[in-house]
Amino acid sequence: MPAELVANVVIAGVLTGLVYGLMALGLSVIFGVVRVVNFAHGEMMTIAMYATTMLFAAHKVDPFVAVLPVAALFFVFGYALQKGFINPFITRPEHSQFMLLVAVAIIMVNALLMIFGPDARNVQVDYQLESFEIGKILIDKARLYAAGAAVLTAAALFVFFKKTLTGKAIRACADNYLGAKVVGLNVKHLYALTFGLGSICVAVAGCAMVLLVDVTPGLGPYYTLLAFVIVIVGGLGSMGGALLGGVLIGVSEALAGLFIVPSAKSMFSFGLLILVLLLRPQGLLGKKQT
C-alpha cells in the first residue's frame, strides 16, 4: 500500500477526529460540571446538522455562516433543557436521569423522522470538491475548515473556563457543589449555562459535520455512542482528553476503513473503549476518581 495513501487517510482521520472531539467536548463539559450523562447528545448533533441543511436549501447559506444562528439557538435550547427538565433530576439516581434523557432522545430522533423523512440530506458547496496539495499529500478543503472551526471553538471554550469569572464560577461548581452554594453562586443558573455551552459545541460540530457526511435521523444514536466512546477514552470531564479521544477515534476509524472493512470501523472504537475502561478507567487524560 502506498505511503501517500496511508498518510492521506491518517490526515483525513485526524481532521474528522477533531470535529468528533468537539462534539464529545460538549458531552464532557456537561458531565464534568452537571454530572449528568447526556444520552441525547448525538440526537442534538443531528438536529444541528438538519438545521444547517435547511438554511442551505432555503437561502444557500454557507454552513460556516449558518453556524452562528444555529449555535445561538442551541445555547438557548440547552439552557432551557437544563433549567426546565434536568435541574429537577440532579439529585435523583443515575437511572432516573438516564430515562429522562432517553425519552428526550426518542422524541428528537422521531420528530426529525416525522419532519424530514428517512432520506439522507446534505449540503453542496464548491470547496467540498477542492483540496490543498502539499507534495503528494492531498488535504480536503472542507475537512480542513471543519477541523479549524472545531479547534477554534474548543480554544474559545478553554479560554472562557480559564480566564472569565463566569468560567471560574462554573469550575467551582464542578469541584465542590456545596462549597459553590455556600459562597453564594447560583448553581442552577450556572448548570444551565454549562448545558448551553455544551450545546454550542454540538451545534458547531454539527454544522461542520454536514460538510463531511450526509445526515439521516438514524445518525443520532450512532453519534451518541461515538461521543461516549471518545469521552471515556479521553477522560470524562477532561477538555483536552475529549479532543485527543476524538482524534484517536477518527484515525482508528479511517485506518480500519482502509485496511479492513469500513463497516467494522466502530468495532475498533468499542474495542479501544473496553481496553481503556479496564486499564485506565479515568481515561487517557482524566484525573483519578476520588
Partner 1 sequence: MTRAAVLLVVLVALLALLPWFVGAYALSVATLILYFAYTGQAWNVMMGFAGQLSLGHSLYVGVGAYVAGGIFFHWGIGPWAGLWLAIALCVLLGLVIGFLAFRFGISGVYFALLTIAFAEFTRIGFDHLGWTGGPGGMFLKVAQRDTWDIASFRGPPLMYYYSMLALAAGAFAVCHLLLRSKAGYYWQAIRENEDAAQALGINTFRWKMLAVAISAGMTAIAGVFFAFYYNNLFPEQIFNISRSIEIILGPIIGGLGTLFGPILGAAVLTLLSDGITELLIHFGWEIPGIKQVFYGVVLLAVVMFLPHGIWPALARRLRV
Contact 45, 223 (CB under 8 A): yes
179 is a site residue for partner 1 (CB under 8 A): no
CB of 129 to partner 1, least distance (A): 31
Q: How far is the CB of 178 from partner 1 (least distance, A)?
A: 20
62, 73, 85, 125: residue in contact with partner 1 (rule CB under 8 A): 85
Contact call for residue 277 and partner 1 (CB under 8 A)? yes
The Cα–Cα gap between 269 and 250 comes to 9
Whole-number Å distance between alpha carbons of 144 and 221: 26
- Total residues contacting partner 1 by CB under 8 A comes to 43
Counting other chains too, the contacts that 58-67 makes at CB distance below 8 Å and 24 or more residues apart are: 62/125, 63/123, 63/125, 63/207, 63/208, 63/210, 63/211, 64/145, 64/149, 64/207, 66/207, 67/149, 67/203, 67/204, 67/207, 67/208
- The whole-angstrom separation of Cα 75 and Cα 185 is 21
Interface with partner 1 includes 4 (CB under 8 A)? no
**262 in contact with partner 1 (CB under 8 A):** no
DSSP 75: H
Q: Which is nearer to partner 1, 221 or 240 (CB)?
A: 221
Is 287 a binder of partner 1 (CB under 8 A)? no
**194/266 with CB nearer partner 1:** 266
The answer to whether 125 touches 55, Cβ cutoff 8 Å, is no
Binding partner 1 (rule: CB under 8 A), the pick from 110, 166, 176, 186 is 110
Annotate each residue in 127-166 with x if it binds partner 1 (CB under 8 A) or - if it does not, as one string.
Answer: ----------------------------------------
CB of 14 to partner 1, least distance (A): 23
**Is residue 82 part of the contact set for partner 1 (CB under 8 A)?**
no
Q: Does 217 bind partner 1 (CB under 8 A)?
A: yes
Provide CB contacts within 8 A for 8, sequence distance 6+. Answer: 137, 138, 139
Candidates 47-55, 198-206, 222-230, 237-245; binding stretch for partner 1 (CB under 8 A): 222-230
Asked if 263 is part of the footprint of partner 1 (rule: CB under 8 A), the reply reads: yes
Nearest to 233 by CA among 193, 284, 191, 179: 284
Q: What is the largest CA-CA distance in the chain?
A: 62
102 binds partner 1 (CB under 8 A): yes
Tell me if 37 contacts partner 1 by CB under 8 A. yes
* Closest by Cα among 51, 251, 37, 242 to 157: 242
CA distances in angstroms from 193 to 170, 171, 286, listed in the order given:
9, 12, 23
- Interaction between residue 109 and partner 1 (CB under 8 A): yes
Q: Is 88 in the site for partner 1 (CB under 8 A)?
A: yes
d(Cα 162, Cα 173) in Å, to the nearest integer? 14
- The C-alpha atoms of residue 97 and residue 200 are separated, in whole angstroms, by 21
- Contact residues for partner 1 (CB under 8 A)? 37, 85, 88, 92, 94-96, 98-100, 102-107, 109-114, 117-118, 217, 221, 225, 228-229, 232, 236, 261, 263-264, 266-267, 270-271, 273-274, 277-278, 281
